[in-house]
Chains A and B, each alone.
Chain A
Amino acid sequence: MSLSRKVAVTGVYEHPTRFAPDKTMFQIMAESVRGALDDCGLTIKDVDGLLTAGMGMGAMAIVGFCDYLNLTPNFVDSTNIGGSSFVAHVAHAAAAINAGLCEVAVIVYGSTAASSRFAIGTGGGGHGGDPCDQYESPFGPTTVGAYAMIAQRHMHDYGTTSEQLAEIAVTMRLHASMNPVAKYRDPITVDDVLASRVISSPLHLLDCCIISDGGGALVVTSAARARDLKKKPAYILGVGETVRHAARGQRDFLEIAAAQSGRLAFERAGVAHKDIDMAMIYDSFTITVLATLENLGFCKRGEGGPFVTGGRLRFDGALPINTDGGGLSSNHPGMRGMFLVIEAVKQLRGECGPRQVKDCKIALAHGTGGALGTRHSGATLIMTNQ
């Protein structure tokens, strides 16, 4: 059974805050829900499905958030597979709507990672307490360390350079300069990235995403209903999600979840790589982008280094990536998948002003959760405005 074009993302809202010491996670979430509903002309009374996830949330936080909104939805899902969760939520909401479990689903995220001083990247790589962490946590791995290992491996196997990785950060900053709410908007150069201190070799400070507060929300409904709403629908073409882990010690570190979730999404969407007009790629670190592009099949394994250079990833390049400035420059409250979908939808609507990708008809969003060097998830979403 195909979901293609049966369900659409109809309302989106990115909370403009990057530092909100006066707000709680639930406040940011509630403001985001209102923003996304206003965006498409629906009200809270229309909502009968709710999906959320967050780093600061307990297992039952979704029930508490329903309490906060005084909502009793017919469908709830708080799947948490890390930063990719909200991309996966779009798939789950689409499946639920297609199966008749609900009609209007809201996906929401909020976080005060910056004002609450979360140590996201330099904190522990394991999640402390899960059985699988017992062989890693005692040795003190960090999230950034687990990504740095992938970068080191890629450099070792294929001669990828720090300069190539740096160009990803430079491109994201260029895009952020065109996004008035991005946290960092001043242009940087490859030399700036290389001159910044090493956080975990070979990743420099400017190879790492920023930490901000923030939040956002999406409204997902049937294509039929979406056509009558305020904004042009972003139809879901194909979705895919999966995980990668230690694989009994037989792990190929450069083969990541995107290889499988991407293949599924492309097959289900019935489109080819050349059809993708822009992509939102989870950029926790520069290496995340390079490894994801390879695994999604935009270039061959090992060719990511040359592929990301020469301006290809710019908003006016052959494969525009993260036109909002990404987690490297715009915002990253800990789980960035939400903003991948929001920006992709805005690009499909033509709402992106100076950073708008020309003739954008098909967009891809890929979220990564966890750490590429250990256990992680991947979720891929392909949408169109046609």
Chain B
Amino acid sequence: MPTKYADVAGCATNYYYVGKTTLPDVVPDFSRGRKLIFIHAAGSNGHAWHRQYDALGAAHSPIALDLPGHGRSAGVEGLHSVEAYADFVVAFADALKIGAAVIVGSSLGGAIAMDLALRHPGRVQALVLMATAPKFNIPAEGIELWRGVTMGRAGQPFNNDGYSPKTIAEKREVIQEGWGEQIRTDPRVRWGDYVVGSKVDLRERIGEIATPTLILAGADDQITLPADAEFIHGRVKGSRLEVIADAAHHLTTERPDEVNAAVAGFLAGLPGSAA
């Protein structure tokens, strides 16, 4: 799949998409099906969505960006709030001449997607929220550990956190791939994302989300709990919730077929979609 850079408020922003390549300043063709903008998790990058954009790219126009400081985008730090990230995604859509799109977010990216839907409702045709929460429970010692990594006091942890027992037992390569994605972004950026994540609290506001919303949760997720997904489902009117078995926080890589089928079905049912 091709990658391309967009100049977003001076930040060279890398994105992955599906389709024909174009000259540097020419926006690629995003006319297939729905425009899908994928927002990755804390310390992650757009490539982590490759199972999704590969599967959905034939019928739709997926676009997975690296947020500032992440992956192959410019910048040595991330942004300092969920709101700043959401505004950045809107500026990114402007740069790609995209008005409204389906916004897909995972974990911190899900919070960014919700904030975007609340403050820029005209830019959101629908929301897909995966392994996310309106308020994250990030232990202070977890944040401190990553600060320690940035200060040379601790090594980067490479562990099974966020994976289901079945993934740990049967899909070692998925976890190793996740570690590969982890090192594509400077630990300082990941630490900053955890600080951002620890401050966000959308519980009072998400009831105002009026866009069609699909919520996906991993049944074994202990980072963002299925109860968090149920909370969102209870507040966002008309939302659909699917809890995926044998998946945890990294459900997009643990159970990609189930995730992709759920997203494809949701998109097919959106108003204005061809039957």
Contact = CB atoms under 8 A, between A and B. Distances in A.
B74 interface: yes
B179 interface: no
Contact of A18 (B76, B151, B155): B76
B12 interface: yes
Contacts of B76: 18-19, 183, 212
Contacts of A115: 72
Interface residues of A, number: 18
B29 to A, nearest CB: 22
B107 interface: no
Contacts of A22: 5, 12, 14, 72, 74
Nearest to A20: B74
| Dominant SS among interface residues on chain A | loop
B74 A196 contact: no
Interface string A139-183: 000000000000000000000000000000000000000000001
B73 interface: yes
A120 to B, nearest CB: 16
Contact of A192 (B14, B75, B151): B151
A56 interface: no
A21 B14 contact: yes
A195 interface: yes
A115 B66 CA distance: 14
B152 interface: yes
Interface residues of B, number: 13
A273 interface: no
Contacts of A196: 151-153
A195 B153 contact: yes
Interface string A233-277: 000000000000000000000000000000000000000000000
B74 A195 contact: no
A201 to B, nearest CB: 14
Contacts of B73: 21
B151 A21 contact: no
When A and B form their complex, which 7 residue pairs have the shortest distance between CB atoms, in order from nearest?
A: A196-B152, A205-B152, A22-B12, A21-B72, A22-B5, A18-B76, A197-B152
Given A20-B74, A21-B73, A196-B152, 19 more contacts: A17-B74, A19-B69, A19-B74, A19-B76, A20-B12, A21-B12, A21-B14, A21-B72, A21-B74, A22-B12, A22-B74, A115-B72, A183-B76, A195-B152, A195-B153, A197-B152, A197-B155, A204-B152, A206-B151
Interface of A: 17-23, 115, 183, 188, 192, 195-197, 204-206, 212
